[in-house]
């Protein structure tokens, strides 16, 4: 029996723009998805979504991983159990985390010899197949951990300030939101392309601030990024209300993280007011998650 886990991630800057080759800065967070695999006679996938066999509707990522890994290793069946602290479909990289953790668990069980770079790359291919569009960002950061500048894949200093996430509990489709931005960009290229470039430029300015741990300035740039995300139509009233509540409670910066349209927002917070910000998010109707940055990417938790 093998158990592997991978962290979720937040975007400090750059979601959506990264799809067009712009810069982004992402940070792995200490909320993990654990995947246990054990040999069995048939394929069984167990999660909070239900117990299924290969099922591309209920367990699309894990089913795709099983099919792909069965090209590298010969196995009749496998029992896969997923336990995740990451809310599903909420912009925290839950699909990337479950995908790379499942690849790693099968890789270890059947000695396929995949290194982390190969796992991240296979994870990206699988996200592309399932979602239709995906940048390699989520699978890379969930595999490697830490704070990473994309697309350069440059590791930055870790964040040691507070991170408070607010879950709106409204599901959003990454595919639909990416299509929405693509459509806007096609209709109004002279308007939308500069906005996407400006989002990329925030990452350029943000890199030095991350490395010098200038959290208040990072927060200021996150607020600008939020305005630009609203401008391309990936915000909504619930996200805005959690973002404003976090800012009013003292967050240094607050924005959508991930595709938007629902899902989660993230606030960068001085350690002294983490609780105030979490309480404000709760009072505004969101579900607060207090977490930290983590350097710990994909790993084998146990092997028996
Ligand atoms: C989704 O977590 C982030 C997007 O930029 C899409 C992607 O990068 O694949 C919206």
CATH of the domain at 45: 3.30.230.10
Other Cβ atoms less than 10 A from the Cβ of 211: the count is: 12
Which segments of 55-151 are extended strands (E)?
77-84, 147-150
Q: What is the pLDDT of residues 255-267, one digit of tens each?
A: 999 999 999 999 9
**Tell me: the pLDDT tens digits for 44-77?**
999 999 999 999 999 999 999 999 999 999 888 9
Residue 24 pLDDT:
97
- Whether 48 maps to a domain, the answer reads yes
Q: Which of the listed residues 155, 181, 203 is the one where a domain comes to its end?
A: 155
Could you confirm whether 138 is annotated as catalytic? yes
Does 92 share its domain with 117? yes
- Predicted pLDDT of residue 134: 78
Model confidence over 175-201: pLDDT tens digits? 889 899 999 999 999 999 999 999 999
Does 22 contact ligand 1 (Cβ within 6 A)?
no
**Domain encompassing residue 226:** 160-291
Is residue 112 included in any domain, yes or no? yes
pLDDT of residue 132: 76
- Residues 242 and 100 placed together within one structural domain of the fold: no
The total number of structural domains that make up the chain: 2
- The strand pair at 299-303 and 50-52 is best described as unpaired
Among 92, 122, 155, the domain boundary falls at 155
- Are 165 and 112 part of one and the same domain? no
Is there a contact between 197 and 230 (Cβ–Cβ < 8 Å)?
no
Please indicate, yes or no, whether residues 172 and 269 belong to a single structural domain of this protein.
yes
Asked whether the CA dihedral 57, 60, 62, 63 is positive or negative, the reply is: positive
Both tokens of 206, joined, read 């943000």
134 and 170 assigned to the same domain: no
| C-beta separation of 164 from 251 below 8 A | yes
Q: Does 174 contact ligand 1 (Cβ within 6 A)?
A: yes
The answer to whether residue 300 sits within a structural domain is no
Residue 220 falls within a domain, yes or no? yes
Q: How far is CA 9 from CA 110, 219, 223, 264, 292, in A?
A: 28, 17, 19, 11, 10
Residue at 296 is within a domain: no
Active-site hit among 41, 85, 138, 279: 138
Count H helices, E strands: the chain?
A: 9, 12
Q: Is the dihedral of CA 271, 273, 276, 281 positive or negative?
A: negative
228 and 194 co-located in one domain: yes
Does ligand 1 have an atom closer than 6 angstroms to the CB of 259?
Answer: yes
Same domain, 134 and 9: yes
147 alpha carbon – ligand 1 mean position (Å): 16
In the structure, what pLDDT confidence band is assigned to residue 173 with cuts at 50, 70 and 90? confident
The domain boundary residue, chosen from 127, 155, 183: 155
For residue 304, being part of any structural domain is answered with no
CB atoms within 10 A of CB 169: 14
Distance of CA 145 to the CA centre of its chain: 11
For residues 171 and 224, which has the higher predicted lDDT (pLDDT)? 224
Residue 131: per-residue pLDDT:
79
CA distances from 146 to 141, 182, 193, 296 (A): 7, 29, 29, 7
Say if residue 202 is in the same domain as residue 145. no
pLDDT single digits (tens) 111-150? 999 999 999 999 999 999 987 777 899 999 999 999 999 9
* Shared-domain flag, residues 222 and 280: yes
Residues 92, 8 share a domain? yes
């Amino acid at each position: 029996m093998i158990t592997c886990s991978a962290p979720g991630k937040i975007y400090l800057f750059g979601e959506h723009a990264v799809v067009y080759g712009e810069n982004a800065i992402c940070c792995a967070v200490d909320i993990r998805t654990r995947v246990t695999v054990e040999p069995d006679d048939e394929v069984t996938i167990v999660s909070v979504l239900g117990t299924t066999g290969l099922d591309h509707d209920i367990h699309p990522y894990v089913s795709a991983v099983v099919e792909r890994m069965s090209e590298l290793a010969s196995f009749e069946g496998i029992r896969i159990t997923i336990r995740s602290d990451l809310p599903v479909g909420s912009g925290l990289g839950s699909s990337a985390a479950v995908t790379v953790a499942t690849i790693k668990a099968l890789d270890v069980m059947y000695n396929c010899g995949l290194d982390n770079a190969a796992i991240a790359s296979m994870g990206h291919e699988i996200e592309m197949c399932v979602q239709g569009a995906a940048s390699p960002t989520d699978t890379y950061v969930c595999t490697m951990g830490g704070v990473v500048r994309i697309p350069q894949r440059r590791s930055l200093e870790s964040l040691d300030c507070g991170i408070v996430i607010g879950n709106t509990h409204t599901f959003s489709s990454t595919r639909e939101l990416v299509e929405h931005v693509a459509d806007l960009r096609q209709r109004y290229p002279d308007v939308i392309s500069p906005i996407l470039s400006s989002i990329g430029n925030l990452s350029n300015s943000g890199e030095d601030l991350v490395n010098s741990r200038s959290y208040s300035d990072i927060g200021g740039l996150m607020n600008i990024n939020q305005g630009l995300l609203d401008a391309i139509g990936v915000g909504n009233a619930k996200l805005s209300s959690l973002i404003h509540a976090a800012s009013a409670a003292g967050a240094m910066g607050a924005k959508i993280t991930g595709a938007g349209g629902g899902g989660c927002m993230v606030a960068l917070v001085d350690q002294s007011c983490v609780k105030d910000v979490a309480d404000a998010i709760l009072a505004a109707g969101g579900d607060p998650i207090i977490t930290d940055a983590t350097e710990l990417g994909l790993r084998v938790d146990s092997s028996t």
